[in-house]
């Protein structure tokens, strides 16, 4: 595999604010690490409620949210996000992340305007590419 | 060795910290010479960093310096000169006169010797001249300088204290004294012993007192004339620096005080004077309400005020000739002694190597009078041990929680703070607390933990790198390795097929439709195509915007994952076309999709992890699939397959070899194929004809027969005007006809930009 040159292709997320909601400590840490490595500013939370409280302060460009969260799950978070009082925040693109791809179909996610979906195991460079793509599109 | 190395790696930071503290404590208790030596030097440095302090007016030194020797002749002088000095000082109102000079032998006076010879001659000549005999006797008395000095001492209005020294061992004296002689000498010092000893231990032998063999006392006439005698014996540390003044020296059951202590005692009008001894050693000397702290051997730390000549001094020759301002000696302790280099009484002190012994005595007098003592407090040992435990413990707790840079910072801050604390206790509290052992313990633990961290990290690094370098961008690996504790990695390599599909130009419609409409269209489209993915047992891996990615062969294993992917791609195309027909009347846009499929070994996640996280990209073959999706744009195709997939499915699907491509980020060229239909399905006749022409054209193209190839591609286009690959290749041939290709052209198309 010596014929790859991935370093040059790694997405540059400088200047982007990304909000991460992930209850698994390792997973959250990993996302923070790779997003910060790509240059993004990351605000990470382990519960959807904590993330909702901070939406106004963070003003993220992109949100990455696990679907299987305790109490308020990712779909609940997405609904709350899409009915947020601030129209700018309401439009924030979101990537849903799940280890249970069989539980969450893309249809309801898309109808709730969830722009991205990724099944775990995540591939980290693709997470960054997705963030870049959605940030550019919005 | 290897096993020991492994044992080290099995250790943890807490165990290392514990070991470091243990080593430091043992070193502290057995007293490692090099560390003790450094501690002494830090003690000296504390003096230097504290700086000079002004002396009290209690002491002035009358010095036999170079100037005095030049004016009065070489030392020792006839004692008549010293008699005159005592007279002058007494007249000048000195409070106390203390001699840092010994008078143990009779004055060597040449006049007296001549008189003796004259007297013998007279005796031998039997000349009975009474007058002559009387003259000789008178002259003899006049020439007896010792008697003159004794007389001056007796007459002096200021009490005179003489100095003497001790022979510490029989060996240092070189010969044994008779018991009578020893007793005679001790008797001379009878009024110069400590008057009282307060001891909680009945047996003095259990106290580590400094013992002397014999005193070298002064001439009896002088000793009896003086108020008292104090020893001026000084003892340097083993590194040659004078830091302590013994306040108590023992011979038999008698304890003797030193010259400066007696001088101070006289100066303070002789308050109660008691040596305080407890079972663990001497505590100190109580002088009235003053307590002079000592170590267990009865030594006082000399609290030096500054370098040589910090105390005021006057040349003896100036005193003898009356060249001293009035009041110089009034009410002060006058210390008389030699400071000239030839007199060999120069010592090394914390402030420097050339310091007169005389000034050490002056310093001790000053220390006692001003009560500014330097000492190791009773609790100093407990403090030292606490610091030896605490400092490495703190760094041991902090280091694993900090980044390497902050770790260095924490170490430097702890190191500096401890130095500042001990220094300030020294400067303002007059306390000598151990600096070297706690700091060594701290440094030892810091070094051990850093080395340990480095070794374990190296090992972990090697392991992670070995497994994941193949799949993960090297920079990402580096970044992951930096994370504290490392990440639990693991994964499995499998041969899979991956499918990328992108709605071409979908976002460009966003100007014509509302966001809600866009979402509805996308949702409906995704609903249809993902249904096909699931129908073919694929897994929807991700979608972002209008692009989706599906994998076939995992998590459920299917040997025919490549065929399933191709079948799904064709079905997805069907659904899209059906949707377009359905949407047409409602004014919705015609959707165009590009699909790339590739097969190869890929990393599929982390089987060990609860949450199934994969720590990296899926691999090179996945990237290739994504590139193929983009290449559709170049060739005007719908579905492109990589070489690996094509080889597996060519029996069941109709394919067209399109080109050889070197995609961006890959060195190896790959053949790419267009997926047309299932084998057995009937193709439109014009397509079949076009495909035949295209195949011939491709052959000609690879042989650099541009004109022939162009003709064939144009022919294919004529048969099937919508044939994307033919148009692309025809354009390329025209280009080569205009500008010839490079010599080393290998028939491969270089994709320079990501599709």
Q: Is the pLDDT of residue A5 over 80?
A: no
- Range B609-621 average pLDDT: 50
Q: Give pLDDT tens digits for B84-93.
A: 999 999 999 9
What residue spans define the domains of chain B?
A: 2-30+377-463, 59-109+144-370, 490-681, 683-755
3-state secondary structure at position B255:
strand
Q: How confident is the model at residue B680 (pLDDT cuts 50, 70, 90)?
A: confident
Q: Is the pLDDT of residue B460 over 80?
A: no
Name the more confident of B472 and B741. B741
Measured between CB atoms, does B475 come within 8 Å of chain A? yes
- How close does chain A come to B617, measured CA to CA in Å? 4
- Range B631-651 average pLDDT: 94
CA–CA distance, B579 with B590 (Å, rounded to integer): 9
- Range B486-493 average pLDDT: 52
Closest partner CB to B527 (pick from A4, A101, A107): A107
Q: Which residues of A touch B549 (CB under 8 A)?
A: 126
Q: How confident is the model at residue B48 (pLDDT cuts 50, 70, 90)?
A: very high
| Chain centroid, CA A8 distance in Å | 23
- Mutation pick from A20, A100, A124 vs chain B, by most beta carbons of B within 10 Å, is A124
Q: Which residues of chain A from 21 to 40 reach within 8 Å of chain B, CB to CB?
A: 24, 26-27, 29-30, 33-34, 37
Closest partner CB to B615 (pick from A4, A30, A117): A30
CA–CA distance, B510 with B211 (Å, rounded to integer): 104
Measured between CB atoms, does B480 come within 8 Å of chain A? yes
Q: Is the pLDDT of residue B504 over 90?
A: no
Contact flag A26-B545 (C-beta cutoff 8 Å): no
Q: Which residues of B touch A30 (CB under 8 A)?
A: 480, 487, 613, 615
CB atoms within 10 A of CB A39: 14
- Which two tokens mark B582? 């359905």
Measured between CB atoms, does A87 come within 8 Å of chain B? no
Pick the residue from chain A with its C-alpha nearest to B617: A123
Q: Is the pLDDT of residue B107 over 80?
A: no
Pick the residue from chain B with its C-alpha nearest to A94: B544
Q: Which residues of A touch B605 (CB under 8 A)?
A: 120-121
Decide: B324 and B314 in contact? Cβ < 8 Å.
yes
Q: How confident is the model at residue B159 (pLDDT cuts 50, 70, 90)?
A: very high
Contact flag A115-B541 (C-beta cutoff 8 Å): no
Q: How confident is the model at residue B361 (pLDDT cuts 50, 70, 90)?
A: very high
**What are the φ and ψ backbone dihedral angles of A65, each rounded to 5 degrees?**
-135, 130
- Range B318-328 average pLDDT: 92
The fraction of chain B above a pLDDT of 70, given in percent, is 90
- Mutation pick from B494, B542, B608, B621 vs chain A, by most beta carbons of A within 10 Å, is B542
CA–CA distance, B568 with B622 (Å, rounded to integer): 17
CA–CA distance, B454 with B278 (Å, rounded to integer): 52
Q: Report, in this order, helix, strand and coil percent for chain B, each rounded to 5.
A: 50, 20, 30
Contact flag B483-A118 (C-beta cutoff 8 Å): no
Closest partner CB to B545 (pick from A8, A125, A133): A133
| pLDDT at residue B612 in the model | 37
Q: Give pLDDT tens digits for B257-315.
A: 999 999 999 999 999 999 999 888 999 999 999 999 999 999 999 999 999 999 999 99
Closest partner CB to A111 (pick from B475, B479, B519): B519
Residues sharing a CB contact under 8 Å with residue B388, sequence separation 6 or more, in sequence order: B21, B24, B25, B28, B437, B438, B441
**What are the φ and ψ backbone dihedral angles of B67, each rounded to 5 degrees?**
-60, -45
| pLDDT at residue B603 in the model | 67
SS (H, E, C) B139-190: HHHHHCHHHHHHHHHHHCCCCEEEEEEEECCHHHHCCCCCHHHHHHHHHHCH
Q: Give pLDDT tens digits for B509-566.
A: 878 888 788 888 888 888 888 889 888 988 888 888 889 999 888 766 778 999 999 9
- How close does chain A come to B613, measured CA to CA in Å? 4
Contact flag A6-B605 (C-beta cutoff 8 Å): no
Q: Residue B419: name the closest of B398, B400, B435, B438 by CA.
A: B435
Name the more confident of B286 and B467. B286
Closest partner CB to B613 (pick from A7, A105, A120): A120
- Range B163-167 average pLDDT: 93
- Range B333-343 average pLDDT: 87
Pick the residue from chain A with its C-alpha nearest to B482: A33
Pairing of strands B59-64, B333-338: parallel
Contact flag A123-B526 (C-beta cutoff 8 Å): no
Q: Which residues of B touch A106 (CB under 8 A)?
A: 526-527, 530, 540, 543
Q: Residue B127: name the closest of B118, B137, B116 by CA.
A: B118
Contact flag B541-A119 (C-beta cutoff 8 Å): yes
Residue that is written with structure tokens 């996302």 in the block: A31
Measured between CB atoms, does B614 come within 8 Å of chain A? yes
Pick the residue from chain A with its C-alpha nearest to B527: A107
Domains of chain A with bracketed CATH? 13-132 (3.40.50.2300)
pTM higher than 0.80: no
Q: Residue B310: name the closest of B281, B352, B280 by CA.
A: B352
Superfamily of domain B490-681 in the CATH hierarchy: Nucleotide cyclase, GGDEF domain (3.30.70.1230)
Pairing of strands A17-21, A62-66: parallel
Q: Which residues of B touch A115 (CB under 8 A)?
A: 544-545
| pLDDT at residue A125 in the model | 76
Range B404-409 contact pairs with CB under 8 angstroms and sequence separation of 24 or more: B404/B450, B404/B453, B407/B446, B407/B450
Measured between CB atoms, does B537 come within 8 Å of chain A? no
Measured between CB atoms, does B753 come within 8 Å of chain A? no
Mean pLDDT of chain B: 86
- How close does chain A come to B651, measured CA to CA in Å? 29
Pick the residue from chain B with its C-alpha nearest to A64: B544
Name the more confident of B307 and B490. B307
- The string of DSSP codes covering B592-657 is EEEEEEEEEEEE---TTSTT----B---HHHHHHHHHHHHHHHHT-SEEEEHHHHHHHTTTEEEEE
Decide: B230 and B260 in contact? Cβ < 8 Å.
yes
- How close does chain A come to B41, measured CA to CA in Å? 48
> Range with the lowest mean pLDDT among B44-48, B111-115, B719-723?
B111-115
Helices assigned H by DSSP within A39-119: 48-58, 74-82, 87-90, 106-111
CA–CA distance, B143 with B80 (Å, rounded to integer): 9
Q: Give pLDDT tens digits for B389-419.
A: 999 999 999 988 888 889 999 999 999 999 9
Contact flag A121-B605 (C-beta cutoff 8 Å): yes
- Range B12-24 average pLDDT: 90
Closest partner CB to B620 (pick from A1, A110, A113): A1
Q: Which residues of B touch A121 (CB under 8 A)?
A: 491, 604-606, 612-614
Pairing of strands A17-21, A41-45: parallel
Pick the residue from chain B with its C-alpha nearest to A108: B523
Q: Which residues of chain B from 321 to 360 reach within 8 Å of chain A, CB to CB?
A: none
- Which two tokens mark B25? 């404590």
Q: Is the pLDDT of residue A105 over 70?
A: no
Pick the residue from chain A with its C-alpha nearest to B607: A121
Measured between CB atoms, does A103 come within 8 Å of chain B? no
Give me the sheet containing B249-251, strands edge to edge.
B210-211, B249-251, B254-256
- Mutation pick from B493, B615, B627, B754 vs chain A, by most beta carbons of A within 10 Å, is B615
Size of interface A-B (CB pairs under 8 A): 141
Q: Is the pLDDT of residue B605 over 60?
A: no
Q: Is the pLDDT of residue B134 over 50?
A: yes
Check whether the bond before A74 is cis (ω within 30° of 0): no
Contact flag A26-B611 (C-beta cutoff 8 Å): yes
| pLDDT at residue B5 in the model | 53
| pLDDT at residue A12 in the model | 87
Q: Is the pLDDT of residue B467 over 50?
A: no
Contact flag B475-A115 (C-beta cutoff 8 Å): no
Q: Is the pLDDT of residue B647 over 60?
A: yes
Closest partner CB to A3 (pick from B519, B615, B668): B668
Q: What is the CA radius of gyration of chain A?
A: 14
B9 CB-side CA count, 13 A: 13
Contact flag B612-A99 (C-beta cutoff 8 Å): yes
- Which two tokens mark B703? 């042989």
Closest partner CB to A27 (pick from B475, B613, B668): B613
Q: How confident is the model at residue B144 (pLDDT cuts 50, 70, 90)?
A: confident
CA–CA distance, B625 with B704 (Å, rounded to integer): 29
- Which two tokens mark B99? 């001699």
Contact flag B526-A107 (C-beta cutoff 8 Å): yes
């Amino acid at each position: 595999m010596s014929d790859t040159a991935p370093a040059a292709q790694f997405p540059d997320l400088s200047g982007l604010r990304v909000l991460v909601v992930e209850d698994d400590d390792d997973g959250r840490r990993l996302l923070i690490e790779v997003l910060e490595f790509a240059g993004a500013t990351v605000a990470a939370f382990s519960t959807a409620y904590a993330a909702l409280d901070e939406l106004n302060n963070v003003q993220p460009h992109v949100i990455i949210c696990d679907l299987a969260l305790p109490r308020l799950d990712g779909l609940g978070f997405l609904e709350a996000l899409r009915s947020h009082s601030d129209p700018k925040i309401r439009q924030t693109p979101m990537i849903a992340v799940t280890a249970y791809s069989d539980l969450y179909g893309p249809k309801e996610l898309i109808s709730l305007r969830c722009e991205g979906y990724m099944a775990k195991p995540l591939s980290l460079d693709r997470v960054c590419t997705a963030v870049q793509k959605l940030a550019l599109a919005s | 060795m290897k096993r020991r190395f492994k044992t080290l790696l099995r250790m943890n930071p807490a165990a290392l910290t514990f070991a470091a503290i243990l080593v430091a404590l043992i070193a502290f208790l057995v007293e490692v010479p090099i560390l003790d030596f450094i501690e002494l030097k830090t003690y000296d440095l504390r003096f230097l960093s504290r700086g000079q302090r002004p002396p009290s007016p209690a002491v002035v030194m009358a010095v036999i310096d170079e100037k005095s020797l030049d004016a009065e002749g070489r030392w020792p002088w006839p004692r008549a000169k010293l008699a005159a000095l005592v007279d002058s000082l007494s007249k000048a109102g000195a409070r106390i006169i203390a001699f840092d000079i010994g008078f143990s032998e009779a004055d060597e006076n040449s006049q007296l010797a001549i008189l003796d010879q004259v007297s013998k001659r007279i005796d031998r000549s039997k000349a009975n001249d009474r007058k002559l005999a009387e003259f000789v006797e008178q002259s003899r008395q006049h020439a007896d300088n010792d008697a003159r000095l004794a007389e001056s001492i007796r007459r002096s209005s200021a009490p005179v204290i003489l100095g003497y020294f001790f022979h510490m061992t029989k060996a240092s004296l070189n010969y044994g004294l008779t018991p009578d002689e020893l007793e005679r000498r001790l008797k001379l010092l009878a009024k110069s012993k400590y008057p009282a000893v307060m001891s909680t231990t009945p047996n003095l032998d259990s106290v580590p007192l400094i013992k002397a063999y014999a005193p070298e006392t002064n001439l009896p006439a002088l000793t009896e004339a003086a108020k008292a005698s104090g020893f001026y014996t000084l003892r340097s540390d083993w590194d040659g620096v004078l830091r302590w003044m013994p306040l108590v020296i023992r011979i038999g059951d008698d304890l003797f005080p030193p010259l400066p202590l007696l001088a101070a005692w006289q100066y303070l009008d002789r308050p109660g004077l008691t040596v305080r001894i407890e079972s663990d050693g001497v505590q100190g000397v109580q002088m009235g309400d003053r307590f002079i702290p000592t170590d267990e051997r009865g030594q006082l730390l000399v609290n030096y005020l500054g370098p040589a000549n910090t105390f005021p001094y006057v040349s003896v020759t100036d005193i003898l000739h009356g060249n001293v301002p009035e009041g110089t000696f009034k009410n002060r302790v006058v210390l008389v002694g030699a400071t000239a280099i030839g007199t060999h009484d120069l010592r090394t002190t914390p402030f420097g190597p050339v310091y007169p012994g005389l000034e050490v005595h002056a310093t001790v007098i000053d220390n006692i009078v001003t009560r500014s003592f330097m000492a190791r407090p009773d609790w100093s040992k407990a403090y030292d041990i606490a610091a030896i435990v605490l400092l490495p413990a703190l760094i041991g707790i902090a280091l694993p929680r900090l980044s390497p840079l902050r770790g260095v910072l924490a170490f430097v801050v702890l190191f500096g703070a401890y130095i500042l604390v001990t220094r300030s206790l020294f400067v303002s509290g007059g306390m000598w607390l151990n600096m070297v052992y706690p700091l060594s313990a701290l440094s030892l633990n810091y070094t051990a933990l850093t080395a340990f961290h480095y070794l374990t990290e190296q090992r972990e690094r090697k392991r992670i790198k070995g497994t994941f370098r193949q799949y993960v961008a090297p920079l990402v690996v580096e970044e992951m390795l930096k994370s504290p504790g490392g990440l639990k990695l693991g994964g499995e390599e499998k041969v899979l097929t991956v499918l990328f599909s992108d709605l071409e130009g979908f976002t460009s419609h966003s100007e014509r439709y509302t966001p809600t409409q866009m979402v509805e269209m996308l949702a409906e489209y995704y609903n249809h195509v993902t249904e096909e993915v699931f129908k073919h047992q694929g897994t929807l891996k991700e979608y972002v915007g209008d692009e989706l990615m599906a994998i076939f062969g995992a998590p459920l294993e299917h040997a025919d994952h490549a065929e399933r992917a191709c079948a799904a791609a064709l079905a997805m195309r069907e659904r899209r076309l059906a949707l377009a027909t359905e949407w047409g009347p409602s004014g919705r846009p015609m959707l165009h999709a590009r699909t790339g499929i590739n097969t190869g070994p890929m990393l599929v996640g982390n089987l060990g992890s609860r949450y199934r996280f994969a720590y990296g990209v899926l691999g090179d073959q996945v990237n290739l699939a994504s590139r193929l999706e983009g290449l559709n744009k170049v060739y005007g195709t719908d579905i492109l397959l990589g070489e690996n997939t094509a080889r597996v499915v060519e029996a069941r699907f109709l394919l067209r070899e399109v080109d050889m491509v070197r995609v961006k980020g890959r060195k190896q060229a790959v053949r790419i194929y267009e997926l047309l239909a299932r084998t057995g399905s009937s193709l439109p006749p014009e397509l079949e004809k076009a495909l035949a022409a295209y195949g011939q054209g491709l052959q000609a193209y690879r042989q650099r027969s541009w004109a022939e190839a162009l003709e064939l591609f144009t022919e294919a286009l004529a048969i099937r005007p919508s044939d994307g690959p033919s148009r692309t290749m025809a354009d390329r041939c025209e280009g080569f006809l205009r500008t010839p290709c490079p010599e080393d052209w290998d028939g491969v198309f270089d994709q320079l930009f990501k599709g």
